[in-house]
Amino acid sequence: AQRVTQPEKLLSVFKGAPVELKCNYSYSGSPELFWYVQYSRQRLQLLLRHISRESIKGFTADLNKGETSFHLKKPFAQEEDSAMYYCALKGGGNAGNMLTFGGGTRLMVKP
């Protein structure tokens, strides 16, 4: 069975500090991983996906298959980064493109 774990419910940092939101997964096949973000009073939206190896709003995430991790990082946090962040795993086979979400991490960036 596939599973996504985000060990931190809340992460609080000061503006300008580096931030790392942790995500670990368990999946027997070759995973596709995503980060979704939900800003206050806005809908949940895709932030980035590992296969595109892109940087969005200064965030990056690298898939580490050895550690089964997909941590989200940003070198200098901004106040507008405050939001809920969800890591998600797309499984194959019978699951089709069903996404399994982690429990979410609330990032608070203090001025």
Q: Which residues contact other proteins (rule: CB under 8 A)?
A: 32, 34, 36, 43-46, 49, 51, 84, 86, 90, 96-99, 101-104, 106
The rounded distance, in Å, linking the Cα atoms of 86 and 21 is 9
Rounded least distance, CB 102 to other proteins, Å: 8
Rounded least distance, CB 51 to other proteins, Å: 8
Q: What token pair was written down for 77? A: 């946090």
Query: Phi and psi for 57 in degrees, rounded to 5?
Result: 55, 30
Distances (CA, A) of 10 to 7, 32, 49, 92, 104: 9, 25, 22, 30, 9
Rounded least distance, CB 60 to other proteins, Å: 18
Shorter beta-carbon distance to other proteins: residue 46 or 76:
46
Rounded least distance, CB 37 to other proteins, Å: 11
Shorter beta-carbon distance to other proteins: residue 74 or 104:
104
The rounded distance, in Å, linking the Cα atoms of 62 and 73 is 9
Shorter beta-carbon distance to other proteins: residue 75 or 110:
110
